[in-house]
A and B are shown apart, each in its own frame.
Chain A
Amino acid sequence: MTREIQFFIFRALSFMNGQNMNMQKRFWRCHVCNDIHYGIKPPETCPTCGVKNAFVLCDRSESLNIMSDVHYAIDTSADVINAWKDFAQRSDFKLWEEEESVRTLSEGVLENMRNKGLKFCPCRITTGDREKDLKLICPCNFKSQQTWKEYGECWCGLFVKKVK
């Protein structure tokens, strides 16, 4: 089953249950190691400490407070590219082989982070509608795009389908 179909079913079930998917996203805290998860439901097993059924609902301010002493930033071109490589390594796509273009894109997302507050794709443009614009953060959900279906790549060509 493709990710698109899975996502469609997931959305349809959410609406059938009278839920608005975005409204239902909440913070969850692992009561063992204080891992924070943001989503409709928590992971069954905590990815950090491995304890099952460890998550409890947590409010926004408490969650942000827990994370406030974490000073971790992806704010250099090398950091961004490493994050992309790590993301691609676990999937059926790879990073574009033209290093100069990848570096340009990484500088673009950092520029957008500085100017717009989020790492938007430099080959898209924001609309001013927050919900729509959140879909433009790189990496986006590129497998739903026409360019992925036709050419096996995301809109900006950063992620390319691996040849088997």
Chain B
Amino acid sequence: MMTEEGKRLIWFYGRECPHCRALHPVVDKFMADTKVKIELLEVWHDEQNAQLMRKFGDAISEACGGSLGVPAFYSEKTGKAICGARINEEKLAKWAGVQA
């Protein structure tokens, strides 16, 4: 079931970003363990997704150290973003507001 727009947990990723590739199994496991749904949106090959990411640009840029980057996770509900290569299940849980 799709989460209502405006309340989604979103993962913005890049197809050729190696850290995003490495994160896929981590995110899959997190979703399976917690039953939390994260929507995956690729940003280099889908301009609509890139535009959505830019819409949340302020929060994501801040989390990424000044510029938009991937992997980036954004919560439409809280406006909170986390970003970068060192994301793990614990950080995802804190961001999503659930128990790891």
Which A positions have Cβ atoms within 8 angstroms of B? Answer: 98, 100-101, 104-105, 107-108, 111-112, 115, 122-128, 132, 135-136, 145-147, 155-157
Contact = CB atoms under 8 A, between A and B. Distances in A.
A123 B50 contact: no
Given A111-B44, A123-B14, A156 B19 contact: yes
A125 B18 contact: no
B16 A124 contact: no
Contact of B44 (A98, A108, A135): A108
Chain B contact residues: over half helix, strand or loop, or mixed? loop
Given A108-B44, A122-B44, A127 B14 contact: no
Contacts of A146: 65-66
Contacts of A127: 54, 57, 68
B79 to A, nearest CB: 19
Nearest to B22: A101
A60 B18 CA distance: 38
A157 B85 contact: yes
B16 A98 contact: no
11 contacts: A104-B21, A105-B17, A108-B16, A111-B44, A122-B15, A125-B12, A125-B54, A136-B67, A156-B17, A156-B18, A156-B19
Interface string B36-75: 0000000111000010011001000000111111100000
B18 A98 contact: yes
Nearest to A104: B18
B59 to A, nearest CB: 14
